[in-house]
Structure 1
Amino acid sequence: MSSLLNVTIGELLKQKAELHPDHEAVVYADRNLRLSYKEFDDQCNLVAKGLMRLGINKNDHIAIWATNTPEWLTCQFATGKMGGVLVTVNTNYRTSELEYLLRQSDSKTIILMENYRTASYIDMIYEICPELKESEAGNLTSTRLPELKNVIVLGETRYPGTYNWNDLLLLGNEVADEELEKRLMSLDPNDVINMQYTSGTTGFPKGVMLTHNNIVNNGYNIANCMKLTKEDRLCIPVPFFHCFGCVLGTMACVSVGATMVPIQEFNPSEVLQTVQDEKCTGLHGVPTMFITELNLADFDKYDLSSLRTGIMAGSNCPIEVMKGVINKMGATEITIAYGQTESSPVITQTRTNDPIELRVETVGRALPNVEVKIVDPITNKVVKNGEQGELCTRGYHVMKGYYKNPDATKEAIDEDGWLHTGDLAVMDDNGYCKITGRLKDMIIRGGENIYPREIEEFLYAHPKILDVQVIGVPDEKYGEEIMAWIIPKEGENISIEEVREYCKDKISHHKIPRYVEITDSYPMTASGKIQKYLLRRQAIELVGNKNH
């Protein structure tokens, strides 16, 4: 079993910069930005000193609200050096969500981009903090956000009451290197260094507190499962604000000295162009990303021969998509990872040499130094291999807890240190796990337990279907009925009758969807997760209207 690293994020980067100073650390192909490990480390040191000059202490909270910009990446490692806790903000947030997060997290500083798509982040911060317009930079006194003092804007423009990125770099020059070194040496690998808010698919989002130890070791173990080395170049189109980007992506790379090749905002043709031009050996994505890449009309024009590995995660990985990534993209060693933010995030992962069956039918086995057990959700007793139960995990990777929410923490982590994931799974004799559903996604129709995943996998094989999501909707007679939301492949039309006919005699009668809705998109979180609860809400309205 590989031993655990006992370093802070800041020390880890410093070590790699000393070991491979001239090796490429970061490449932004679209802006021709290339930094060696030494240059990247220097940049992070400067930003860390700038944050210290603003009076930000160890354990103070620094929110960052931006897409995968070079500054985001720098902040991740700069805070890892000066001990500020990086609070990651979902790029799709709007004013009420942002205000909630800033208030609940007690953030002292926010670093934000000017706008994203059609949303002006500047307008939103002024709406929440109207006092900012009249404030001196660094001296905000906000009624609604009493802790917030500093607003730093990524860009050249100087807005009233704010610093811009260049101000931060200039401030960094006013702090001695020795001061930063002293701060770095005062950090402990068990300190909280990152806070991420759970998607909030139910109730208010909770701030997951992750330590250096959580993130560094998870990144390192993930890298080893992918056989990632210094020679690899990983294309990272998944958002940094999510663990997929900043742990499976950036942290995995830095843990072994590999090259990070981020994509600022996901665009399928840009991803494939970047893989081709930068000869990337790895590619990350959620299934929907891989689906759009594989279905590009000009897919065949890209040379993806450098691809070897990567990770598909974030939601169920359909078998057909996995086959496409292996056979058409050539990522023969692609792995599947499974986990959640509370486990920083990966619990299980397939290995590069696993046969394709294991890589499409399971989410792999536990990472090194990670325990996994499957328990009966009612009795909490471990079930036999092959029996379904709730997946629980214990080890270095389990979060410190939810910020200012001891009750929710107690609910998630039992007194023996086991994190209860809320996911239903089956484990085989070799420890490989199959995720069979969410405790709360399960459909109970006339007393029969139905797992949407099973029906989704079945419908996926239909030649006209691009994507499918199955949910339960309330029903007077059966308690719940099944509804399938289907996105057809481009240029294809599929009728409800066709779907039902396809199911007939192939799956149990009670599993055939009573309702079928054809759509062109699903409600998504910014990290690419499908929000089934929103689909359910839409479904209840639709079904209600159909039944009246």
Structure 2
Amino acid sequence: MEKELERSQAKVSTFYDWVFANKKIDKDKPLLADHHRHYCFRDIEESTVYYLSILKKEEIQGKKVALIIPSLLTHLSLFLAINRLGGTVIPLSWQLRHNDLTNILKSLDPGIVFTISFYNKFDFAGAVNSWAKLSGKHTVIYLSRGGNWERTVYEGEKRDLENDKIELISCSSGSTGTPKGIMINSDSMIHWVKWLENISQIKGTDRAMSTAPISTAYGVMWLFISIRNQAFIVFNESFDVISTVQTYYANRCTKLITSPSVFRVFHQFFKQVYPETSNQLELVLLGGELVTSEFVQAISDVEDAQIINAYGLSETGGIMVNDKVLEKNSFFIRGDANFRVEPEEGSEEGTGELVVRLPGIFSGYYKRPDLTKQIVSEENWVYTGDLVKQVGQREVEVIGRKKDIIKKGGQVIIPSEIEDSLTQEINVKRAVVVGIPHQVYGEQVAAFLQLEGEISMEQIRANCLSQLARYKVPDRIIVIDDFPMIQGKIDKVSLRQLVKGRI
């Protein structure tokens, strides 16, 4: 390991270097934690050495490696080992289900997959092996069974190696429902990390909790922020509020990185269960969804803690921040970014799409230059897809999205994905999915179905659960005879009003 550290000391240019170039780090200080245990730097170091020994025989230089690993230490160690050996890391969520998972694997086409067997009653082993068989390509599957790795090789056509440097591919469904691989390298992400370090004022004495999934670029950033600053961070992705609050309390955390919907429930529960420690919270860093007036009202009694709302994209990292959430709903664009508000047809003056140019943007969408050109200009201006209103020199208010994505509890949901799944059902003639307001999660998923025969709602829900991530399964299913139309298109505003009238 010392030789590896000497190499990385020479030039800090990869994620691996971020972690192992610092020889002054306290190896026995707890840095990371999950529900199971705490991990110090020595644990990370030893686990990474173990996976380096496994992966060296795979000769992964230029190969893509997918990870479906909930274990915090295993996930991070594999990430670092793959990065050190010149491979591309593709972290995948263990909340995915058959349709989403298969589509992403087909799109990004990894040559090696490390996966769990089962999780929340879903057969990941079956889904991954089925995809590997059907791909017709040489694929290596590492399956976790009882603490050991079971290696299976599927023979077939060899995949081309990646010639360009691609350290990380973060997955996004995008506005069309088509899986997109967001290519990110460490020399770009360092700008994002430093911005987060600055606005959170993270330091070595901090004890924080993050609910950001470590399978996302945002979650990955907080892993490295912890190690870079020797700050203790608990990573908790549980949807169980009681468990989340208990973990926060047990670890004596003072900072919380989460979404508005999670913090709202967290705050209410925390007041009731642990009122004597209400002054324990120093800072809340919000992200993942818009802050609503209802949210501000619900948490208006928060005292002493600073509440910050950070805004960014997986393609750009952080763009702007609101450090006075309880007082206003506007954001200040970061100082090193150029920006403009590009007017939309019919919009009022000062309102339009936010377009930014800043250091360290993503490298593009994997094998989709056409999609990259849709949001990045030749001059590296990024079209964010967010509608904003400029209210100051570098100050804007976010008023919505250009497209109809749904944001539920910090998760981005593409209606077309759910619509496609629903219309595969027998006797479902047409399906339209919209987002409707929800006090806790920000938005819920409402599905409108036009039927051509009998089908039970229980059957529809069961089929959705088997094909979609749980958070994508419709919260409301409404059968209607005909869809309201306006100028030849389905009137989604009327559909949302219809749901509101039935609540």
The letter of the residue matching 1:48 is L
Distance 1:161 1:221, change over 3 A: same
Judge conservation of contact 1:293–1:299 (CA < 8 Å) in 2. no
The letter of the residue matching 1:375 is E
Task: Return the alpha-carbon distance in structure 1 between the equivalents of residues 16 and 249 of structure 2.
Answer: 32
Task: Return the alpha-carbon distance in structure 2 between the equivalents of residues 110 and 196 of structure 1.
Answer: 15
Shift of residue 527, structure 1, vs aligned partner: 11
Instruction: Give the counterpart of 2:320 among 348, 352, 367.
Output: 348
Partner of 2:343: 376
Judge conservation of contact 1:112–1:121 (CA < 8 Å) in 2. yes
Task: Return the alpha-carbon distance in structure 2 between the equivalents of residues 391 and 232 of structure 1.
Answer: 34
| 1:236-275 correspondence to structure 2 within 5 Å | 236-247=210-221, 249-275=222-248
Judge conservation of contact 1:197–1:207 (CA < 8 Å) in 2. yes
Report the TM-score when normalising by structure 2. Answer: 0.72
Partner of 1:394: 357
Partner of 1:20: 26
Partner of 2:388: 425
**Higher strand proportion, which one?**
2
The letter of the residue matching 2:340 is K
Task: Return the alpha-carbon distance in structure 1 between the equivalents of residues 242 and 305 of structure 2.
Answer: 21
Any idea what the Cα deviations from partners look like across 1:498-520, whole Å, max 9, x if unmatched?
xxxxxxxxxxxxxxxxxxxxxxx
Any idea what the Cα deviations from partners look like across 1:30-87, whole Å, max 9, x if unmatched?
32x2222243233224323432232211x32111123363312323333333332111
Partner of 2:309: 336
Partner of 1:67: 70
Any idea what the Cα deviations from partners look like across 1:252-306, whole Å, max 9, x if unmatched?
3233221221125332112211221111121122222123323439733363533
The letter of the residue matching 2:28 is D
Partner of 2:456: none
| Corresponding residue pairs, total | 419
Task: Return the alpha-carbon distance in structure 2 between the equivalents of residues 278 and 84 of structure 1.
Answer: 35
Q: Secondary structure at the match of 1:90?
A: coil
Q: Secondary structure at the match of 2:129?
A: helix
1:414 aligns with 2:377: yes
Task: Return the alpha-carbon distance in structure 1 between the equivalents of residues 270 and 226 of structure 2.
Answer: 31
Task: Return the alpha-carbon distance in structure 2 between the equivalents of residues 78 and 266 of structure 1.
Answer: 30
Task: Return the alpha-carbon distance in structure 1 between the equivalents of residues 175 and 49 of structure 2.
Answer: 37
Distance 1:212 1:425, change over 3 A: same
Judge conservation of contact 1:237–1:266 (CA < 8 Å) in 2. no
Partner of 1:505: none
Q: Secondary structure at the match of 1:161?
A: strand
Unaligned runs of 5+ in 2: 1-10, 155-162, 408-412, 416-433, 441-464, 485-494, 499-503
Q: Percent identity?
A: 18
Any idea what the Cα deviations from partners look like across 1:166-200, whole Å, max 9, x if unmatched?
xxxxxxxxxxxxxxxxxxxxxx9x94211112134
Judge conservation of contact 1:17–1:38 (CA < 8 Å) in 2. no
Q: Secondary structure at the match of 1:19?
A: coil
Judge conservation of contact 2:16–2:80 (CA < 8 Å) in 1. yes
Report the TM-score when normalising by structure 1. Answer: 0.67
Q: Secondary structure at the match of 1:149?
A: strand
Shift of residue 147, structure 1, vs aligned partner: 4.6
Judge conservation of contact 2:182–2:314 (CA < 8 Å) in 1. yes
The letter of the residue matching 1:429 is G
The letter of the residue matching 1:333 is Q
| 1:49-448 correspondence to structure 2 within 5 Å | 49-57=53-61, 59-67=62-70, 69-129=72-132, 142-144=133-135, 146-153=137-144, 155-156=146-147, 161=152, 191-247=165-221, 249-296=222-269, 299-301=272-274, 303-322=277-296, 324-325=298-299, 327-328=301-302, 332-343=305-316, 345-351=317-323, 354=324, 356-358=326-328, 361-362=329-330, 364-377=331-344, 387-441=350-404
Any idea what the Cα deviations from partners look like across 1:186-224, whole Å, max 9, x if unmatched?
xx9x94211112134523111110111222321221121
Shift of residue 369, structure 1, vs aligned partner: 3.0
1:37 aligns with 2:41: yes
Q: Secondary structure at the match of 2:21?
A: helix
Task: Return the alpha-carbon distance in structure 2 between the equivalents of residues 241 and 294 of structure 1.
Answer: 25
What is the RMSD computed on CA atoms of the aligned residues?
3.9
Q: Secondary structure at the match of 2:245?
A: helix
Distance 1:406 1:350, change over 3 A: same
| 1:507-526 correspondence to structure 2 within 5 Å | none
Task: Return the alpha-carbon distance in structure 1 between the equivalents of residues 360 and 479 of structure 2.
Answer: 38
Partner of 2:158: none
Judge conservation of contact 1:209–1:399 (CA < 8 Å) in 2. yes
